[in-house]
Amino acid sequence: MLRQQDVGHRIVVRRIVGIREGRPQFSDALGELVELSETHLTLATAQGQLRVPVAQVHRAKRVPPTRRPTAAAVVALERAADEAWPAPTRGRLGDWLLRSAEGWTGRANSALPIGDPDRPLAAAVDAVERWYAERGQPALINTPLPLAAPVGAELDARGWGTRPPTLVQTAPLPLPASTPAGGQADLWGAAVVELAAAPSDEWLAIAAGRKGGLPDAARHVLTAVDQVRFAHVYADGALVAVGRGTVTGQGRWLGLSLIEVVPAVRRQGLARRVIHELASWGVSGGATHAFLQVEQRNAAAVALYQRLGLVTHHTYLTRVAPN
């Protein structure tokens, strides 16, 4: 039978779905175990969530992970990522999400085409174009792959552009302890990482520099999450490293964002320190996994995350409507 340690893993459940001529009828379900209580277990399957009363479970066991995440896992992670970066203006097209934040970041100003848009695909893309046109914004759609490949094909046919790929990376928590390469003393091993519930003005200035300004909507995107922390590291009174952590996705996912170290003190282990502090905070808040989004072409950040044990879960492309 299953135990709490199996939550987050892929399992198969044989359940009793009826009795015919005095014999039990079985049905098998495969998916990720997202919750286990005394009375029910909840599975994220490729078809969506399935809640099974424990009394109906004939047999259940862990199975090896697939090399590719299931569609359900991609959907769950994309929704947790959306919660972690909440656009203030939102709409729905069936299951698809429409998001707008005064143009601040692609993520908060793009449609997320996962699930059923409640209309044919071409009509759904038309509706996305109209929604953004009404707000005077270019239409963007983030397509997680391969899940949203059919949407991508429709956008190709319409001549939509493509921004460089973004990797969505994950790691189980806690992160493994990491030591500086080559035995070099870790200059910042004892640095104090302050985790504040709100960003300081200097923190916001770094975010503004990175993301090109800071409209009112940006403050909402950064702070309108129940569990959020803003990492600050000061040296001689100046802010030298920042980061942001959130816990979303029903408490499972620590989201890491806006990790940045000022150029003068890079390659001294500061980003690692910030991430480890945020990870410890996430674990204390109940998170079992970390995720982040990084542009594939950001070599320094990709190397950093690889060093910390993060692996690519899936990728997405930000698609841009032609003028």
Ligand X SMILES: CC(C)(COP(=O)(O)OP(=O)(O)OC[C@H]1O[C@@H](n2cnc3c(N)ncnc32)[C@H](O)[C@@H]1OP(=O)(O)O)[C@@H](O)C(=O)NCCC(=O)NCCS
In the complex, the residues that contact ligand X under the rule CB under 6 A are 180-181, 259-261, 266-272, 294, 298-301, 303-304, 307
Q: Between 255 and 269, whose beta carbon lies closer to ligand X?
A: 269
**Distant-in-sequence, close-in-space partners of 88: CB < 8 Å, separation ≥ 6:** 100, 101, 217, 220, 221, 224
Q: Quick check: bond before 146 cis, omega within 30?
A: yes
CB of 265 to ligand X, least distance (A): 7
* Residues facing 35 on adjacent strands: 42
CB 152 within 8 A of CB 145: yes
CB of 246 to ligand X, least distance (A): 14
In angstroms, the first-to-last Cα distance of the chain is: 56
Q: Between 150 and 176, whose beta carbon lies closer to ligand X?
A: 176
CB of 186 to ligand X, least distance (A): 9
Q: Between 180 and 251, whose beta carbon lies closer to ligand X?
A: 180
CB of 199 to ligand X, least distance (A): 16
**Distant-in-sequence, close-in-space partners of 290: CB < 8 Å, separation ≥ 6:** 170, 171, 172, 173, 175, 253, 254, 255, 256, 279, 282, 310
CB 67 within 8 A of CB 60: no
Q: In angstroms, how far is CA 123 from the centroid of its own chain?
A: 28
Q: Between 8 and 212, whose beta carbon lies closer to ligand X?
A: 212
Q: Between 121 and 302, whose beta carbon lies closer to ligand X?
A: 302
CB of 307 to ligand X, least distance (A): 4
